[in-house]
Amino acid sequence: MEFIFGTLMGIGLSAACGFRVFVPFLVMSFSAKMSYVKLTPGFEWIASDPALACFLIATIAEISAYYVPFVDNALDTAAAPVAVVAGIILTASAVGDISPFLKWTLAIIAGGGAAATVQGLTTVTRLTSSVATAGTGNPAVSTAEAAGSLTLSLVAIFLPVIAFVIFIVLIIYFIRKKTKVIPAAIPAEKQ
């Protein structure tokens, strides 16, 4: 049972990385420091004082940078591969003490995939906001993304099953949104 909850927690935290990369690390670090979360062997460094301080500074810097016009779009491009790596690390740190092969396979596929999916959703949302509002709507999008990352991270720690359900809902939303955009882009005579 610990393996299942750890896996769901890792996937939820990874999905939260798609919104903001460092918020889930900060939440995980603080939760581990308070002994609420048990990190798998080799990942105890996440709960160290230096790591907690670095995650706090990185979180503040990341959230602040998303409020700078045009920097937010550039950050979305750079954040995609970073979010995937962060998702992999967070999932591997949460799944429990299992075989390394299973741990890393699960972390890469589920954790990296969750982060990439949500990051793709946020990139499309920010691009749509940038085009539709000439960037004036991006601070609202940034606020929603930061809140989403914090909320999903906390839910992943305390209610991992609910976090997984939220992630599935995000995937369904993303698929529905994508299928609405694609037919609109195809000229009428080719449909």
124 vs 154, more confident: 154
* CA distance readout (Å), 27 to 20, 31, 155, 162: 12, 6, 10, 17
Arithmetic mean of pLDDT over the chain? 88
pLDDT band, very low/low/confident/very high, at 33 (cuts 50, 70, 90): very high
- The pTM score is 0.86
List, for residues 90-132, the tens digit of each pLDDT value. 999 999 888 999 999 999 999 999 999 899 888 888 888 888 8
List, for residues 7-28, the tens digit of each pLDDT value. 999 999 999 999 999 999 999 9
pLDDT band, very low/low/confident/very high, at 46 (cuts 50, 70, 90): very high
Residue 13: which residues within 8 A CB-CB, separation 6 or more?
Answer: 24, 27, 28, 87, 90, 91, 94, 152, 153, 156, 157, 163
Entry field: residues in the chain = 191
Are 89 and 115 a contacting pair, CB within 8 Å?
no
User: Is pLDDT above 80 for 66?
Assistant: yes
